[in-house]
Each structure stands twice: as C-alpha cells, then as structure tokens.
Structure 1
C-alpha cells in the first residue's frame, strides 16, 4: 500500500504570514476611515461654561481652557463635523494629514486579532478571547483617534484613570466591544462561507477566485457592520470618556452600563445617534474585510503552490 504526503497544506508559519499580510495592508488602508468614524461617534453635546473643573490640573487641556491661571476653567468647543467628507477636510486642515493615521501603532499591534479564520461558533468564541486580550490596545487606539493628543498626554490620562478606577479602567468598553465583535465575527464568517460557496456554484468553479473572495468578504462585512454599529458607537463613547468623566460630573458606575450609555446617546442626539459614523464605518469595513480575506486566500494559494513545487513527493510503502 502506498500513500502520498499531503503537499497541498501550508505550514502554521505560512498561514500566519498570510493572515498578517492581509491585516497589515488593511490597517494602512482603512485607518483614516477609522479616525473619521471615531471622531463622528465621539461628538457629544458641549459642556456649558464653568462645567469642566473647579480648578485646572493639566489633564483636560484638550477639553478645557484655564482662565488667566486663576483655576477657573470652561469648556473649549471642539471642531464639529457635519459628515464624512467634512471631517476629512477639517482634520487635514487643522491637524495635518498625519492625523488621519493616528493610533496606527496600536492598530498594527492588534493584527493578531484578525488571525482566527473559523466560521460561526468557532470564530465567535475565539473572538471573545481575542477582544478581551487586546482591549487595552483598542482603548489606546480609540483615545488617540478621537482627538489630537500626544502619547505623553494619553499616558497621563490613563495613569489618572487607573489611580481612580483601578486597572479595570484599561478594559473600559469591553462589554459593548464583545457585543459588537462576537456577533460581527459570527455573521461575517457564516455569510462569507455561504456567499463564497454560492458564487463558486454560480461561476461553476471548485476553487474560489480572487474576485469571489473579495466580493464575499465585502458583502458579509457590510452586513455585519450595519447590524453591530450601535454597539460600536457605545464602545467608542465609553473609551473616549476615559479621563473625562469628572468633566461631565459622572462616575464610572453611572456611565458603565451599555444600556445606560445607549439611553444617554438617544437622549442627547436621538435614535440616529446610535448609528453615528455609519458611512465611514461602512466604507471602512467593506473594503477592509474584502482586502483582508482575499489577501489571506491569495497568500494561502501562493504558499500551497510553492509547497507543491519545492517539496518532494514522499511515498510510504507498507508491505503486508
């Protein structure tokens, strides 16, 4: 009896390289759209004069203005964005084009989160662990993208929050993150596999082409992003509030519930507030999912063909 070694498979290292290459390209491409989305979601009702701090402590310079050094402070109006294009123009004009890639380093460090490629339940369960593990990086990325600030200012804010709330402050927004990411992962992989299979049957091919994986990824990502958008808005609001709760005279306990944050958003901006950043999120997620999955599939195919040409065919003889 003879058997041929499976040369069609790829090694774990090759699979990791395939996944990370797609994540790297995606991160570089969609980070500006992520910045726009978070800026639109972070827009809140302005605080009235004198409602920031009774004294100036240097932690809220991006939000408050001190008056002649006498300890009085008032709200500093932030640039208001009227839409995706308006946000692009204003951010570039006021902060420079580099601001569109704010938070890119923690985004790149989060690339491992995109490496789980199992449909439905396996993908959803893996997402819980991944989202929990990278939650502090997500917090840092969101804070950097929500407003123009240096890493030194961010570290000061984080230290103050940890001192006040404990180390769990680094996992602020984990609840709505899981409510966003777990259903997103389940819906995305389920619809991707179904869409890819349907397109393969429609095109009468056994192997998915680049265009099939690209289209399947874009459509499945779009559907998942729309359904989970309200939780993305809540996640952004919770993480942006790091260091700003005192300015709003709120405590972590009164603002931590996802439901309470949703009620506050609806009270401030109406039901449509739960879908803030709809267009940039859709523009970001659709190509991001398409680029990530098609690059991953393309790289897998490349490595598989390389293995076929470079590995010798092994034959095992078993004489009985």
Structure 2
C-alpha cells in the first residue's frame, strides 16, 4: 500500500500531473472535432450580416467561448473568403473545395490558447476537490460532484477571465507586449484591479450552474449505466453517453444565462475595440429584461439548437477522452507497482 501511495498520490490511483495530461488530451481532441462547426457557422453568419470594423462575435468550441474582434470585413481567417453558402452542408463542401480541408481548422490556434489551460485547471481541480469532498461529506458523498463542479468552475473562470480580456485588447488594438503592459497598468490605475474581471458575473451565472448540474448528472448517469450493464469500470460508450446527456440537460437549463452572457461579452469586446473600455456594460438583470421586451420570453432561449448541437458532442468527447486517459494512467501505475513484486517472486 505504501508503494502505491508513493506512485500515485491521487485518490483514484493517478497523480494530479497525469490528470492534467488526460484533460489536456481531451481539450485538444474536442477542439479538433468541434472547431470546424464554428468555422462554418461564422462563415454563414458573415455572409448574412458582414462584420463591420470594430464589431465583435463570439467563437465557441463547445468547451468555452472567445471574443473575436473584427478589424475589417474580410481579414479574419474564419470568414476571409467570399462566396455564397445555401446551408451548413453546402458551406462544408464549398470551403473544402475552394480553400482546402485545413481551412476548417483556421480558428484552432486562438481556441487552444484559451481552452487548454482553462480545461486543465477545471478538470484537475474537479477531480481533486471531489475526492476530498467525498471523504468530508460522509453520508452526503453523492452530492460531492455538484459542489466540486461548481467550485472548480469558479476557479477556472476567475483565472482565465483576465487572460481573455488581455487577448481581446491585443487583438483589437494590435499592441506589442510592452504597449499591452502599459495599457493594462493604466487601466488598473484608473479603474482598479477588478476591471480585469469585467464580465465575470454573467460567465459565472451561466457556467457555475452548468458545471454543478453537469457533474452531478454525469456521475449519477455513469453509475446507473455501470449498474445496468453490470460493469465495475465505465466503458468508453458509457462515459460518452453520460457526458452527452448530462451536457445537453445542463445546456438547456442554463441557456438564458448563456444568451445574456453572449450579449454582454460582445458589448464589452466592442467597447475594447473602440477604446471605450471605461463604459460599464449593463447588468445581467437589465440585459435579460431588455431581451424579453425586444424578443419576448423565447428570446432568452435563442440559439437553442446550435448550442445543443455543439455542447452535447463537446461534453461527450471531452469526458470520454478524459476518462480514457485516466484509465490508461491508472493501469500504467498499477503495472509499475506490480512489476517489482513479480520480479521478487
């Protein structure tokens, strides 16, 4: 037992570093699969409503979203090529034919810069917290995933929020690193350190409930499927189905906050692009009220199908890859422990 604890200090038989590698692999694979969907979506958006200078849009790979600032109508890789698309399938075919298949991943680098560190922090924190809370909560250990998921999301979103703001500034104003440092320093002096976390409130309102519901339902669904199919270790199919179903449910419930967060994030990005960052965007409640007045209650559920189409496979791919990676490292650690014993015998 002492040899096992030295080799793998994590409660589930793997180290935090191995958890980070597994989550990093999941983030990379998820981004590779989901990025083409957003590249096509943004091309379709651009032909209907071309992005004017200073306009922002949200680029999402299913794991998290990113503000992208438009310098002019045709400069960005996501929608640089002219052409008319009649639909999603037509866009896929024409983009591949005219620009090559690589163009479907033209938005991948900025996605990975933000998605990989955020996902590594999030998944590793969740596993570590969940292991501790299961022990601490005793009879209520089944609720540990809900609390661990919420806390882990607060931590990862808080860490990443300033990075997202910095990246938006760099993209909108074409700053060098020295100019960026001076810009951030002056903004902090004028508006305080909390200005680096603008827009964090709506992000947490959407992501924390999503994360809490996702992990609780995922663990419950995984346990139920393992019991139903009489298996101690969840298979790839079990984790895939559990991830997709729990992600879909959480995405539907938190959709109104996603709509509000997107509105505020785009608004904040436009202020950054126009050097009007001192203007404070509307509160979550007022944005929600304005959406209901303009579009009715159904406006809070705008983008229902696109969000579901992206989030469900993203959650499924991410969690099943992550669980597969953990299982690989767990088996590797066990083999390392048993190898010296077999040699001695």
Matches within 5 A, 1:116-155: 116-117=126-127, 118=130, 119-139=145-165, 151=171, 153=173, 155=175
Partner of 2:243, secondary structure, is helix
* Residue equivalent to 1:70: none
* Residue equivalent to 1:103: 110
C-alpha distance in structure 1 between counterparts of 2:314 and 2:228, whole Å: 25
C-alpha distance in structure 2 between counterparts of 1:87 and 1:271, whole Å: 32
Structure 1 residue 180 displacement after superposition: 0.8
C-alpha distance in structure 2 between counterparts of 1:271 and 1:265, whole Å: 8
Answer with 110-119 or 169-178: which moved more.
110-119
CA RMSD, Structure 1 to Structure 2 (Å): 4.5
Structure 1 residue 278 displacement after superposition: 2.1
Residues 155 and 275 of structure 1: CA distance in aligned 2, closer, same or farther (over 3 Å):
farther
Instruction: Indicate conservation of the 8 Å contact 1:113/1:131, yes or no.
Output: no
With normalisation by structure 1, the TM-score equals: 0.68
Structure 1 residue 126 displacement after superposition: 2.2
* Residue equivalent to 2:33: 29
For structure 2, list consecutive stretches of 5 or more residues without a partner in the other structure: 6-11, 51-68, 74-84, 131-144
Instruction: Indicate conservation of the 8 Å contact 1:222/1:282, yes or no.
Output: yes
Structure 1 residue 18 displacement after superposition: 1.3
Partner of 2:13, secondary structure, is coil
1:112 is the counterpart of 2:120: yes
Higher RCO (Cα < 8 Å, 6 or more apart): 1
- Measured against aligned partners, the alpha-carbon deviations of 1:143-184 in whole angstroms (never above 9, x if no partner) come to 69xxxxx8354659x959948866544422211110111111
Residues 162 and 5 of structure 1: CA distance in aligned 2, closer, same or farther (over 3 Å):
same
Residues 175 and 85 of structure 1: CA distance in aligned 2, closer, same or farther (over 3 Å):
farther
Structure 1 residue 212 displacement after superposition: 0.4
Instruction: Indicate conservation of the 8 Å contact 1:60/1:244, yes or no.
Output: no
* Residue equivalent to 1:69: none
Q: How many residues align?
A: 278
Instruction: Indicate conservation of the 8 Å contact 2:256/2:300, yes or no.
Output: yes
1:20 is the counterpart of 2:18: no
Residues 61 and 34 of structure 1: CA distance in aligned 2, closer, same or farther (over 3 Å):
closer
C-alpha distance in structure 1 between counterparts of 2:223 and 2:115, whole Å: 31
Partner of 1:207, secondary structure, is coil
For structure 1, list consecutive stretches of 5 or more residues without a partner in the other structure: 47-58, 64-80, 145-149, 316-320
